[in-house]
């Protein structure tokens, strides 16, 4: 019997989403002969009337899609169906519209590509509407449990590493301290990985406390050894010394992180006397072409998610573990927040390289 499956991307976008959409479409149509319906704007496409969707074909998912950034379906990270924003500023529960939209499209199953927040919402919707849900993890923060990687993380890592590669020569030319602020909402994986790959002298992540005194000691000790520059990488969720989070503004009740780089840059300059410049990388970490590893992970996840539907296994998330794609309960993946652990190899590596990674 021909199945009709839906696919949507939800939450912040990242590189590699289109590669997953393509893999789902190729495998569902090519191997199983199913129909694939792409839902537009994340969950919002099934809430809005008329419904916002399009049939995905092999021709639509051409080879250019594999290489492109963003998500061809669009996404949302603020239109929670359980508290959906109305034009007058109030919010209402529109979860029933979502379920009705799923039924109207006569879908047999839904693949949701998202991070912890989106998967939490999708799971609630699936519970409520008896939706056959399969999840694919995506997040540049790489903080989902039970999977070693998620779509988008490696591209963000590449971008942050390249930023250090570009900052190093100019830092050396001008004898400056360069502070690079990277994303990573509450998790330091991007800062830690890029810091090691890009030769940082100081790596600051939210999981490990630091002191300004020891950051400055590290920078002055380099200067004493004749090093004329220093590279500092800091994750956006690192707190100020007094424990305050550096935020830009609040959107939908949750603060937007930003500013810790500037805060640290000013402190470093005043405490060490070294001329300091700050770069905030922001959303360039999410856009652009996916690196090869994200394309591989996205393709493998897309194929395996379709196979899960074929096997009738629902409420599962595909996950990367020990060089294999496995599947785990979605509930387990979202409940276990994967922060950087103090004893993990990347922390040990940074320490072994003499990088200041905070007070361990």
Write the secondary structure of 174-240 as one string of H (helix), E (strand) and C (coil): HCCEEEEEECCCCCCHHHHHHHHHCCCCEEECCCCCCCHHHHHHHHHHHHHCCCCCEEEEEECCCEC
* Choice between 5 and 333, CB closer to ligand F6P: 333
Distance CA 189, CA 156 (A): 10
* Choice between 23 and 187, CB closer to ligand F6P: 187
Distance CA 219, CA 216 (A): 5
CB of 261 to ligand F6P, least distance (A): 13
* DSSP assignment letter at 145: T
Give the Cα-Cα-Cα angle 80, 81, 86 (nearest 5 degrees). Answer: 85
CB of 240 to ligand F6P, least distance (A): 17
Query: Which position's Cβ is nearest ligand F6P?
Result: 183
Nearest CA-CA partner of 164 in 196, 189, 133: 196
* Choice between 27 and 286, CB closer to ligand F6P: 286
CB of 288 to ligand F6P, least distance (A): 14
What is the sign of the dihedral through the CA atoms of 61, 67, 68 and 71? positive
Q: Which two tokens stand for residue 217?
A: 């000691």
CB of 11 to ligand F6P, least distance (A): 7
**Block residue for tokens 């405490």:** 271
* Choice between 169 and 255, CB closer to ligand F6P: 255
* DSSP assignment letter at 358: S
- The one catalytic residue in 79, 116, 141, 307 is 141
- Catalytic site residue 201? no
* Choice between 80 and 141, CB closer to ligand F6P: 141
Contact 142, 149 (CB under 8 A): yes
CB of 41 to ligand F6P, least distance (A): 14
Phi, psi of 27 (to 5 degrees): -75, -40
Residues binding ligand F6P (CB under 6 A): 12, 77, 115, 139-141, 183-185, 236, 256-257, 286
Give Cβ neighbours of residue 176 (< 8 Å, ≥ 6 apart). Answer: 170, 229, 274, 275, 276, 277
From residue 114, give the alpha-carbon distance in Å to each of 55, 96, 120, 123: 20, 21, 9, 11
CB of 202 to ligand F6P, least distance (A): 20
* Choice between 6 and 12, CB closer to ligand F6P: 12
Active site residues: 141
């Amino acid at each position: 019997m021909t199945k009709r499956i839906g696919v949507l991307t939800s939450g912040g976008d990242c590189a590699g989403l289109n590669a997953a959409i393509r893999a789902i479409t190729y495998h569902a149509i090519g191997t199983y002969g199913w129909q694939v319906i792409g839902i537009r704007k994340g969950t919002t496409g099934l809430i809005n009337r008329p419904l916002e969707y399009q049939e995905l074909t092999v021709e639509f998912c051409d080879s250019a899609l594999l290489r492109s950034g963003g998500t061809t379906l669009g996404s949302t990270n603020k239109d929670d169906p359980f508290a959906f924003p109305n034009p007058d500023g109030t919010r209402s529960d529109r979860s029933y519209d979502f379920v009705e939209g799923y039924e109207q499209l006569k879908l047999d199953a839904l693949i949701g590509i998202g991070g912890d927040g989106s998967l939490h919402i999708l799971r609630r919707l699936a519970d409520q509407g008896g939706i056959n849900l399969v999840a694919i993890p995506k997040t540049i923060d790489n903080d989902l449990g039970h999977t070693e990687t998620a779509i988008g993380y490696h591209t963000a890592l590449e971008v942050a590493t390249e930023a250090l590669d570009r900052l190093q020569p100019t830092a050396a030319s001008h004898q400056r301290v360069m502070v690079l602020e990277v994303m990573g909402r509450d998790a330091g994986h991007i800062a830690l990985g890029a810091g090691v790959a890009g030769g940082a002298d100081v790596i600051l992540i939210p999981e490990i406390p630091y002191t300004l005194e020891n950051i400055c000691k590290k920078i002055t000790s380099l200067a004493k050894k004749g090093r004329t520059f220093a590279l500092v990488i800091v994750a956006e969720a690192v707190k100020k010394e007094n424990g305050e989070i550096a935020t830009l503004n609040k959107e939908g009740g949750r603060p937007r992180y930003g500013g810790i780089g500037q805060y640290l840059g000013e402190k470093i300059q005043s405490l060490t006397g070294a001329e300091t410049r700050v770069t905030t990388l922001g959303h360039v970490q999410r856009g652009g072409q996916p690196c090869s590893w994200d394309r591989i992970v996205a393709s493998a996840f897309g194929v395996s998610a379709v196979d899960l539907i074929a096997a009738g296994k629902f409420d599962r998330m595909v996950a990367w573990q020990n060089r294999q794609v496995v599947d785990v309960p979605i509930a387990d993946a979202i409940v276990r927040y994967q922060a950087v652990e103090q004893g993990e190899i990347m922390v040990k590596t940074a320490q072994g390289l003499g990088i200041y990674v905070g007070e361990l």
